[in-house]
């Protein structure tokens, strides 16, 4: 009898606990329906495949559920794969938001790429976004190529490139480079500054290899072909579509000026050498005058010794003995 009473008491406790759980669950459903019911209904009617549980989870993770719903609806209406296998699932969108990404820009970029028949999946688009690049702008540049000035006055402060042909004539050139984004190399690829530097280097090299500046003026397209053939867009985030020479001006006669400067320098060297030789000659002349003066002094000393020698000879009586024929 006691066992039966104990079993009934336990059953009552279990039923009471289940009732409490059911009441809490009902309250939770009511709260979720009040707060997220509208969003869930929008997602359901749009076949965006977002459950009420996912909406509550996003609220707990401090993710804006409305943004995810709008993004998922946009992807669904654009015909993107949102399947729970390899598609753009709610979990993947949440993970991208938690990683600091912009899911709206990513989905817009994927939709734009899909319309332009450009292969771009969610993984690559999200990687580009997390790398700090504007993935939507990259897709737009792939569809509508971008024009870059070479040189770019905003970056270098110069409006023209200066190059010298083999005949010594300076040419001042301004070019425009049309590029489109290379999505395959957008992550880790070089930026616009590298493209501008490479194109500028290629133009200067092409002009420097020309025999006459007139060849460049007659056929500017020759420079463009030579530069394009060098593959300057390798390992960059862009693909060069075309290089157009916008303007060419003839500058200074650099070769003639350099020759004149060299001649002037040679003249100065010759003058310096002549002045050195003149100074050496003057020094040699002064040295010879010093030798003459020294020899004259020695001569005077020698002449001064003659009377002294004669006096000593007289005193010694050697002067008469030296001439026996002289009378005494």
Give me the number of domains the chain comprises.
Answer: 2
pLDDT at 162: 84
pLDDT at 41: 82
**Is residue 32 domain-shared with residue 54, that is, in the same domain?**
yes
**Is residue 6 domain-shared with residue 136, that is, in the same domain?**
yes
Domain with 191 in it:
144-253
**Is residue 123 domain-shared with residue 157, that is, in the same domain?**
no
What CATH number should be reported for the domain holding residue 245?
A: 3.30.479.30
Q: Is residue 152 domain-resident?
A: yes
pLDDT at 328: 46
Per-position pLDDT tens, the chain of length 328: 666 666 677 777 777 777 777 777 777 666 666 777 777 788 888 888 888 788 888 887 888 888 888 888 888 888 888 877 778 888 889 899 899 889 999 999 999 888 888 888 888 888 888 988 888 888 888 888 888 888 888 877 788 888 888 888 888 888 888 888 888 777 777 788 888 888 888 888 888 888 887 877 878 888 888 888 877 777 788 888 888 888 888 877 776 677 777 888 888 888 898 888 888 888 888 889 888 888 888 888 887 877 877 777 777 777 654 455 555 4
The single residue listed with the structure tokens 């530097």 is 197
What's the pTM? 0.60
**Is residue 105 domain-shared with residue 12, that is, in the same domain?**
yes
**Is residue 163 domain-shared with residue 236, that is, in the same domain?**
yes
**Where does a domain end: 229, 253, 277?**
253
Q: Is residue 267 domain-resident?
A: no
109, 181 Cβ separation under 8 angstroms: no
**Is residue 49 domain-shared with residue 115, that is, in the same domain?**
yes
pLDDT at 28: 66
**Is residue 168 domain-shared with residue 200, that is, in the same domain?**
yes
**Is residue 243 domain-shared with residue 157, that is, in the same domain?**
yes
pLDDT at 218: 79
**Where does a domain end: 253, 287, 316?**
253
**Is residue 133 domain-shared with residue 11, that is, in the same domain?**
yes
**Where does a domain end: 200, 230, 253?**
253
């Amino acid at each position: 009898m006691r066992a039966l009473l104990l079993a009934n008491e336990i059953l009552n406790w279990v039923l009471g606990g289940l009732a409490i759980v059911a009441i809490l669950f009902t309250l939770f459903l009511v709260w979720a329906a009040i707060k997220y019911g509208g969003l869930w209904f929008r997602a359901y009617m749009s076949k965006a495949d977002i459950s009420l549980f996912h909406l509550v989870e996003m609220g707990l993770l401090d993710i804006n559920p409305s943004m995810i719903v709008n993004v998922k609806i946009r992807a669904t209406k654009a015909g993107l794969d949102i399947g729970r296998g390899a598609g753009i699932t709610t979990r993947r969108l949440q993970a991208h938001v938690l990683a600091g990404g912009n899911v709206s820009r990513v989905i817009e970029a994927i939709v734009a790429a899909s319309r332009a028949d450009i292969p771009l999946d969610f993984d690559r688009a999200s990687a580009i976004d997390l790398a700090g690049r504007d993935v939507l702008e990259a897709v737009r540049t792939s569809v509508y190529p971008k024009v870059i000035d070479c040189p770019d006055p905003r970056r270098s402060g110069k409006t023209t490139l200066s190059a010298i042909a083999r005949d010594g004539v300076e040419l001042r050139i301004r070019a425009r480079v049309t590029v489109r984004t290379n999505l395959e190399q957008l992550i880790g690829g070089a930026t616009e500054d590298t493209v501008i530097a490479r194109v500028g280097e290629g133009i200067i090299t092409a002009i420097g290899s020309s025999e006459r500046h007139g060849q460049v003026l007659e056929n500017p397209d020759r420079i463009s072909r030579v530069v394009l053939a060098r593959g300057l867009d390798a390992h960059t985030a862009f693909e060069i579509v075309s290089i157009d020479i916008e303007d060419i001006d003839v500058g200074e006669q650099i070769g003639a000026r350099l020759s004149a400067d060299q001649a002037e320098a040679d003249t100065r060297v010759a003058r310096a050498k002549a002045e050195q030789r003149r100074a050496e000659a003057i020094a040699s002349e002064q040295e010879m005058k010093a030798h003459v003066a020294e020899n004259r002094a020695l001569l005077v000393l020698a002449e001064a010794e003659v009377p002294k020698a004669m006096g000593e000879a007289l005193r010694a009586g050697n002067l008469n003995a030296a001439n026996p024929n002289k009378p005494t």
